[in-house]
Structures are given as C-alpha cells and as structure tokens.
Amino acid sequence: MSHETDPIPAELAACADRVLTVIDAAAAERAQVWSDHAFNALALDIFQAQYACIEPYRAWCDHELGMRGWQFDHVRRWSDIPALPISAYKQRRIAGHAPAATIVTWESSGTTQADLVSRHELPSLELYETSLIAGVRAALLPDFLATDELVCIQLAPSVGELPHSSLSHMFDVIRHELCRNGGAHATATEPVIVASAWSELSRAAAAGEPVLVLATSFALVHLFDVLTAEGAKPIVLARGSRLLDTGGFKGRTREISRDSLLDDVQRWLGIEPDMCENEYGMSELSSQSWLGTIAFALKRTLPDTGMATPGSRWQVPWMRTRVVDPISLEPVDSGVQGLLVHHDLANVWSCAAIRSEDIGIRRGRSYELVGRAPTAELRGCSLRIEDLWNA
C-alpha cells in the first residue's frame, strides 16, 4: 500500500529519531554507537521502512533482488541493500511522505539527461543540518570549540538567491550557525560582484582575524582570473584562516588541477594547502564526505576514520561508501577503480542507499574520488525506474 498520502509515515519518522539520537551520541564522543553491528542494524531498519513507504524504490528493489535470485528477507547486511541509481531522482518522486509535507526540494540537473531535473524532497531539515554540522565541526573546525566563532566569507549565492540549491543551503548553515554574525556572502562569478568579494576578503585580512572562506572551486578560479587581469595585489589572511571548497568544473569551459587551485589560493589569500578542506556531496544525499586535510594538519583524530592514504575521503560514521565494479556491482579490491555506492543513514526521507555516477579508487575502508563515470559503463543505465513502475 502506498504511504504517500501519509503526511510523514511513522516508520520513517521513527528511523529519523533514531539516527538523530546516535548522531548526538557520536558528537558526545560515544563512538561505540557506530560499531559495525549498530550501523548494520539501523541500516536494515531504514531499508525496511523505505521499502514499505517508497513505491519506486520498492519496485527497484524487487527488480534488483530478482536479478540476484533473492527475496526481501535475504538482505541481512547493509552492503546487501539494493542501491537506487541516482538517475531515479530525475524520473520519479523518491519520497515516502505526502507532497504537502515537503518543506524544501533540492534540485540538480547533473550532466546527463539534461532535459530532466533531479529533485530531492524533504519534510524536515533537522537530519540534514545535524549531520552537516557534525561533519563540519570534525573536518573543517576541529580546533574550534562550540562557543568559538570565525569570520566567514561565502563566495557563492545564498539560499535566498538559490532556494533549491543544497550547496547554497549548506554554505548558509555553516555561515549562520558556526560563524560570527552570519558572516558575509558575495557571488564571485559575476565581474561586477568580484570587487565586492575581494573587498570583503581584503577587509578581513586588514582586521587580522581568522577567516573561513566558503566557495565553489569554479568561483575561486574565476575570482583569481579577474584579479590577475586587473593587476590586483594578493592579500594574506590571518593565521588560522581556512578554505572550504566544493564542486568541480562540471559544464565549464575551463578546468584546472586541485594542486594548481591550491597554489592560487596560497598566492592570493595566504591560506596554506593544509588548511584547505574539500567537500564532496550531492543534492540526493543528506551527508557529505571530506578530505580531512585540516584535521590531519592539526593532528586531530577524525571519528571512526577509515582513511588509509592522503587523498582518501573521511565520512561521518553514519555514512559508508562501497566501491563496486560498474558492471557486476561486486566490491573491487583495494587500489582498484570502481563505481561509488553511498549508504547515508541520514537520508531517511528518500533513499539511504544510492548508486552514484561517480568513480573512485578503493583505499581500504575509504576511497579516493576520481570523477564522473562514463554513462555507457553503468549497468542498467538505460533501464528507467518508470519502466519498472509501469511493468
């Protein structure tokens, strides 16, 4: 029976409460709540609730399990849970609550099926924001106490300008919840506004206070290009300043390596590479993964870390990622490239197990992000969720 007429199904609400409880416990450094056994048990309960409440996901699970010759009760570990292809968010409504209960919809067009928009509907932001803040405190601000505040300069549109952007919301939450007086923001991708962005940064440098810079990778490149063309003079932000950059150069006409970007950041802003953190996320998920650069530089321990080498990603303990063969979907060996499959227990309201379109290299229990997967290599890429729905 469909649960989409329920404002918020009780099964999903109960799972959300449990995830919030264990995130709070993890924040209190009671890391044992995220043992393999505990993660597995909660992942299976969320799977059961989402299977019951979200019809397109149930259709996909029945198809995927059938391909394995399995029944529903054969799923006994979190890694057995069928992962929904991320393209499903462009094809169907992936949510268990009634549309009227939606308070925000993240949208992303991606780079394939450009005529379709990915939509991720949420009836609450509490899980998303709780997961985000916990990750930010551990990876980006490990040397700041809860009562400390940084000056923040956001070189990206605010959520008021882009209400359906999960990235803008992420930056706004960091700026308003963890920084002094809500910080400042300026869109650094338009020439007329570059002057405003640079003015904010220059003012902060002159004040001698540590600054948190939030920016997309492309916005930084554009900012530095304009400054170079105008013959501007570099600044040096105060010790303790740091950068959080995210995104890539998807759909852009120019691309540079991360090492080159970090060289430019150090040259123009005076922020050293080991104080530059990179976030990897997607609008269809509720948690993020991080490089852990700042925590490593400051010799701070990241909770439940599975990181094996520099460049490997750290994830909050309620998120795990498998690297699988794009054809067989079987796990690859460490050091081997494969498709990233994310299991995000904070993603209660839609689908906790997502098969991405990104490629990574397995590094022990972690992974190194490589980039976008060629669509032709993805198993079932031509099989639309709608085809299963109408079968």
CA 257 to chain CA centroid, Å, is 21
Which of 49-63, 273-287, 303-317 is the least confident region?
303-317
- Among the ranges 211-225, 239-253, 262-276, 309-323, which has the highest mean pLDDT value? 262-276
pLDDT for res 305: 60
| pLDDT confidence tier of residue 304, bands split at 50, 70 and 90 | low
Asked whether the beta carbons of 337 and 286 are under 8 A apart, the reply is no
Helix or strand or coil: residue 9? coil
Q: Report whether pLDDT(2) > 50.
A: no
Percent of the chain with pLDDT over 70: 83
pLDDT for res 360: 95
Q: Report whether pLDDT(193) > 80.
A: no
pLDDT for res 110: 53
Report CA dihedral (36, 39, 45, 47) to the nearest 10 degrees. -100
User: Can you state the angle between helices 10-27 and 36-53, rounded to 10 degrees?
Assistant: 160
Which of 143-152, 232-241, 304-313 is the least confident region?
304-313
Q: Note the maximum CA span of the chain.
A: 66
170-182 average pLDDT score: 86
pLDDT for res 338: 96
273-297 average pLDDT score: 95
pTM of the model: 0.90
Q: Report whether pLDDT(107) > 80.
A: yes
101-121 average pLDDT score: 80
pLDDT for res 183: 58
133-143 average pLDDT score: 93
| pLDDT confidence tier of residue 308, bands split at 50, 70 and 90 | low
pLDDT for res 248: 62
pLDDT for res 30: 46
Higher pLDDT among residues 157 and 387, named by residue: 157
| pLDDT confidence tier of residue 385, bands split at 50, 70 and 90 | very low
Q: Phi then psi for 360, rounded to 5 degrees?
A: -145, 170
Q: Report whether pLDDT(309) > 80.
A: no
Which of 172-176, 178-182, 273-277 is the least confident region?
178-182
DSSP 311-374: TBPEE-TTEEEEEE-TTT-PBPPTT-EEEEEEEETT-TTS-SEEEEEEEEEEETTEEEEEEEPP
Asked whether the beta carbons of 339 and 375 are under 8 A apart, the reply is no
Q: What is the mean pLDDT of the chain?
A: 86
Q: Report whether pLDDT(34) > 80.
A: no
DSSP 156-205: S--TTT-TT-HHHHHHHHHHHHHBGGG-EE--TTSHHHHHHHHHHHHHHH
Q: Does domain 143-270 have CATH number 1.10.3470?
A: no
pLDDT for res 144: 86
- The full set of domain ranges for the chain reads 143-270
Percent of the chain with pLDDT over 90: 64
171-175 average pLDDT score: 93
pLDDT for res 383: 45
